[in-house]
Amino acid sequence: MQRTAIAVLVVLVSLLAMTLVGVAVVSPIGAQSPDDAADRTVSVDATGGADAPPDRAVVRVRAVAEGDDPDAVRRELATDADALRTNLDGIGLTDDDYETMHYRVRSPRVPPREEDEVPAYRGVHGFEVTLDDPDRVGEVIDATADADVEVEGIEFTLSEVVRTDLREEAIANAMSDARMQADAIARNGDLHVTSVASVDATQRNFSPVRYEGAAMATPEPESADTNVETGDVSVEYAVEVTYNATGG
């Protein structure tokens, strides 16, 4: 009776083992993804750019005074600065549109030679005017000139929202160029690009339009108003991309 029980137990264990083996044998094997099958890589460098008309302008201006009396220099600076504020207010700008960037009254750092006629003191009061409408730059230049204040420079640039859009466009163009390069390399190497393994993008260049000092367009003959050409602002990005690739 005991032998019969042992034999039955052995038979059951054997059947169970065969069942488990059968399950392992007939289980479907999942198909490999292209990335799992990729055994090589293709690396490329590419650049992409984008440009857009500026939607913001910055005008840097300064009142300048010279003389042998520091108090007189300060008074002249104050008079010119007040005239500038009045003129800027007159064209519809507010205190939020301009601010003082630097103010100084000092004697020359290097003593002048005896034959040079150099004032004992020189004062500068610099302002920065920010415009959401670049077409108003000419108005600011005229208001500045009427106040006997100098224009140091002009920069046509982009608001943060537009700059972000332009940056994304430049990156997309760089990535498109990178993929075309990688596909061409892969075809010539009997490979097939499957996906991106890694990418590194860096801004190579951001180019606002700048004018320094008097390097600006002169007024049109028919008009006393100053006009300044804006041009386009450009962004350029460089990418280093490594792609997964398979043979054949």
Q: Please tell me the least confidently modeled range out of 29-38, 113-122, 139-148.
A: 29-38
Angle between helices 70-90 and 137-146 (to 10 degrees): 140
Convert the pLDDT of each residue in 92-128 to its tens digit.
999 999 999 999 998 866 555 655 677 889 999 999 9
**How far apart (Å, rounded) are the C-alpha atoms in residues 81 and 87?**
10
The pLDDT, as a whole number, for residue 114 is: 57
Q: Give Rg (Cα) of the chain.
A: 36
Tokens of 172: 């997309």
Average model confidence (pLDDT) for the chain? Answer: 82
Buried b (16+ CB within 10 A) or exposed e, 220-237: eeeeeebebebeebbbbb
Q: Where are the alpha helices (DSSP H) in 29-113?
A: 34-37, 70-90
Higher model confidence: residue 225 or residue 120?
120
In the chain, % of residues over pLDDT 70: 75
- The CA distances from residue 162 to 50, 52, 96, 97, 204, in Å, are 11, 8, 21, 20, 18
- On whether the pTM is more than 0.85, the answer is no
Tokens of 223: 């008009």
Q: Could you give the 3-state DSSP secondary structure of residue 117? A: coil
Convert the pLDDT of each residue in 164-217 to its tens digit.
999 999 999 999 999 999 999 999 999 999 999 999 999 889 999 999 865 444
Domains annotated for the chain, with CATH where assigned, are 34-52+161-208+229-247 (3.30.110.170), 56-157 (3.30.70.2970)
- The CA distances from residue 38 to 4, 62, 200, in Å, are 57, 63, 21
Using the 8-state DSSP alphabet, how is residue 178 labeled?
A: H
Q: Could you give the 3-state DSSP secondary structure of residue 110? A: coil
